[in-house]
A and B are shown apart, each in its own frame.
Chain A
């Protein structure tokens, strides 16, 4: 028997629900109660369980597409022992229609009329979407909304100040060239340098709780990672005890999991401090916004050959990278933060 799978009512508003990924692929078996797909509503990301046992047939919407509550998203070829009540319900009758035939005026609030319905999407989804976007704008995803709210709150409520400097990248360049296989990511060096330096700066390992500083309760350093249109932070736990190669692998794995739609890593996880790097995008320097409730964020710019006045008084050329430390002034003073930034520079310049 063919059973139409509808998008459950998982949203708190009338907004559409985005399909994050199909956990079960067409042709694969799924048991009643086992996770079938991952979705993202206006409130949360979650797994949706299969309502029956069977083989997943046709999938009508792919990962990334948004649908309305009640839209048919897939068809399940159900085993013979399908639940009697499911089998008895003619699949052509939607709940809305069924309710209407039972009572001339229904006071039932929860069966929403499908906004548009599956047919609209089936005809020419791209054209319809483009037309809708032109009129209604492009709605933010859950992750985008969360990022927007947090960064707005950060910029509006945290008194930021910014310290800028540069560092000699010779040690790191040498270390990267020494590796024959996959080069160590630049991010890994910044994470390790921050992790080592922050051990001597208690205040940066705290967060502000009302009128006191309390320990952050984590030893992770976060790495900001942008996917196509969303921003995430991958935490690297206890990096000070790891090698730069291990950290680099950990970041790479995290990025792969993000691109693969892994829900676990998309969730916000606490870190001591975040590192963000736009050097690979040819950005010379930039001023990042603190990721609350952290005390600071380090922004790394492009490393490039730079003319410098050497100690000998002569002019030389060094590979130098720029750093900007954005700091919460409620937590640290300028001098204190300057010492921290200097410690980061030292760690980067002696990196092995």
Chain B
């Protein structure tokens, strides 16, 4: 079960082309996601965090690289594994943590929880936990944007497991025939829950399948290289804004944690796990930043410490936020 071959990541090899403040912002955003996920893991282990959680340690570069290419009024759709997408799109640590604690101050007023984080005012549809469920929704939103004659685009996040869903075909096909402004972002982390991609598809090169099946541009990119993701997403967004969408991106990445907190992840072979851990997107980007003279170990560590403190402060607040009452039972719901 070797990971599929990746395209060469030319943009990543010359980060000097980007402004230093952008590069550092990308780094900070990835670290914020990692620290958030690690912090939440311990809150869960302590027994203070309710429910189960689906985390994205190791996949930070996909969310950050794609969302950095979007405008504030562009939209994303997300999945049950949405913490990273939310932080990348600009939701605050506090509104997310409050939501995870079920508090009324959360981004969905405590009624969504971990699997449904989002904030329409910040361009994120609350996470859709049904696998592939966000794909037709994204196509529909893109159609609305087109009919409203705006240049807004939708980035639709889903995993490799969603590709085998009927909703995937319906959404991608409709977007393709109508040239809708959607960037379909497939985070291929090799496993649909515990099932390896090779067990559910004969051709595991998803981008190639999409390109030949739907006649749209489909790129396969190293999803653990944030600049490669960013560069590809930028060109995909530009193409969609110009009315030549949709674009499909297959971002090859890996989950360095279980499918959920209850999953000890025994199905990931040790050597595969270690090989991907060596390709940790944050550590790789640190090497890039240092080699370009943009940062050093002390500054990077200072960023991590600051973000960790921010998280701890937010957690201390979140655990004391008010919970919904019976009066809130019938508000914000449709049925």
B interface list, Cβ under 8 A from A: 38, 41-42, 44-48, 50-52, 102, 261-264, 266, 312-313, 315-316, 319-320, 322-326, 328-329
Known: A12-B262, A46-B264. A85 touches B319 (CB 8 A): yes
The reply to whether B261 and A10 form a contact with Cβ atoms under 8 Å apart is yes
Complex Cα–Cα for A84 and B38 (A): 16
Contacts of A86 in B (CB 8 A): 46
The reply to whether B312 and A85 form a contact with Cβ atoms under 8 Å apart is yes
Could you write out 15 A-B pairs with CB less than 8 Å apart? A9-B262, A11-B262, A41-B262, A44-B262, A45-B264, A49-B42, A49-B45, A69-B47, A84-B313, A89-B48, A95-B48, A103-B324, A107-B323, A109-B51, A267-B266
Residue A77 is within 8 A (CB to CB) of chain B in the complex:
no
Residue of B nearest to A105 (CB): B326
Residue of A nearest to B316 (CB): A85
Partner among A41, A44, A85, A104 whose Cβ is within 8 Å of the Cβ of B325: A104
The reply to whether B50 and A109 form a contact with Cβ atoms under 8 Å apart is yes
Complex Cα–Cα for A8 and B44 (A): 7
Quick one: which of A44-74 are within 8 Å of B by CB? 44-49, 51, 69-70
A70-104 vs B, CB cutoff 8 Å, 1 = contact: the mask equals: 10000000000001111011000001001100111
Residue of B nearest to A87 (CB): B316
Residue A225 is within 8 A (CB to CB) of chain B in the complex:
no
The reply to whether B52 and A9 form a contact with Cβ atoms under 8 Å apart is yes
Known: A103-B322, A109-B51. A9 touches B44 (CB 8 A): yes
Contacts of A32 in B (CB 8 A): 42
Complex Cα–Cα for A86 and B312 (A): 9
Partner among B48, B51, B264, B323 whose Cβ is within 8 Å of the Cβ of A44: B264
Distance (whole angstroms) from the CB of B57 to the closest CB of chain A = 12
Distance (whole angstroms) from the CB of B24 to the closest CB of chain A = 26
Known: A44-B264, A45-B264, A88-B316. A110 touches B51 (CB 8 A): yes
Residue A106 is within 8 A (CB to CB) of chain B in the complex:
yes
Known: A9-B44, A108-B50, A110-B50. A47 touches B323 (CB 8 A): no
The reply to whether B264 and A103 form a contact with Cβ atoms under 8 Å apart is no
Residue A208 is within 8 A (CB to CB) of chain B in the complex:
no
Contacts of B326 in A (CB 8 A): 105, 107
Partner among B264, B312, B313, B329 whose Cβ is within 8 Å of the Cβ of A47: B264
Residue A111 is within 8 A (CB to CB) of chain B in the complex:
yes
A interface SS class: loop
Complex Cα–Cα for A243 and B303 (A): 57
Complex Cα–Cα for A83 and B329 (A): 35
Complex Cα–Cα for A48 and B262 (A): 10
Residue A43 is within 8 A (CB to CB) of chain B in the complex:
yes
Residue of B nearest to A267 (CB): B266
Complex Cα–Cα for A33 and B256 (A): 14
Given contact pairs A33-B38, A49-B41, A69-B47, a sample of 5 additional A-B residue pairs in the complex whose CB atoms are under 8 Å apart: A8-B47, A9-B51, A44-B264, A47-B264, A51-B46
Contacts of B315 in A (CB 8 A): 85
Contacts of A11 in B (CB 8 A): 262
The reply to whether A70 and B47 form a contact with Cβ atoms under 8 Å apart is yes
Contacts of A49 in B (CB 8 A): 41-42, 45
Distance (whole angstroms) from the CB of A32 to the closest CB of chain B = 7
Contacts of B323 in A (CB 8 A): 99, 102-103, 106-108
The reply to whether A10 and B262 form a contact with Cβ atoms under 8 Å apart is yes
Residue A329 is within 8 A (CB to CB) of chain B in the complex:
no
Residue A6 is within 8 A (CB to CB) of chain B in the complex:
yes
Contacts of B316 in A (CB 8 A): 84-85, 88
Known: A70-B47, A89-B48. A84 touches B312 (CB 8 A): yes
Residue of A nearest to B194 (CB): A44
Complex Cα–Cα for A110 and B52 (A): 9
Distance (whole angstroms) from the CB of B5 to the closest CB of chain A = 23
Complex Cα–Cα for A252 and B312 (A): 49
The reply to whether B48 and A9 form a contact with Cβ atoms under 8 Å apart is no
The reply to whether A51 and B263 form a contact with Cβ atoms under 8 Å apart is no
Partner among A7, A45, A107 whose Cβ is within 8 Å of the Cβ of B324: A107
The reply to whether B325 and A9 form a contact with Cβ atoms under 8 Å apart is no
